[in-house]
Amino acid sequence: MFSGTFYFKTEINKPIKDVWEFFQTNENLVAITGFPKITLLGDKDVFEGSHVHLKMDFFLVKLDWQGEITKVVPEAYFMDEGKKLPFPFKEWRHVHAFKELSPSKTKMIDRVEFSSYVPAPLIKAMLIGMFSDRKRQLKKYL
């Protein structure tokens, strides 16, 4: 088994309150994920104990992702942890942290700790693609 930690930073030209509110619904996570296509089956809102259940459509293969929001500190961070994960993941812990840079600018820092059945550099390459696309998609909404 392999493990690693991945970081991704995104600066958003909006106040932290607006950015925080955007990320308090799992529907917005679905909206900013271009690939794979995601259908939300779990809880709509982000709160401690909420169930994150996603159906991911990779065209030929559909995978289930189930997790839980385990910690929420308003306008600072929230964390989701994988409960039932698709291959190649064995474990997943994702911290979404938010920092006010100015009254009209927020830095979002994603930290993903994972273990998987494939080498960490392959997982990190996949995550770079996914988070880069989310960053691009965010510009449509924030």
If one counts the domains in the chain, the total is: 1
3-state secondary structure (DSSP) of residue 22: helix
pTM: 0.94
Helix (H) or strand (E) holding 136: helix 120-141
CATH of the domain at 122: 3.30.530.20
The 10s digit of each residue's pLDDT in 56-106 is: 998 889 999 999 999 999 999 999 999 999 999 999 999 999 999 999 999
Considering the chain, what percentage of its residues have pLDDT values greater than 90?
Answer: 92
Read off the pLDDT band of 34 (50, 70, 90).
confident
Q: Which of 27, 25, 23 is nearest to 12 (CA)?
A: 23
Percent with pLDDT over 70 in the chain: 100
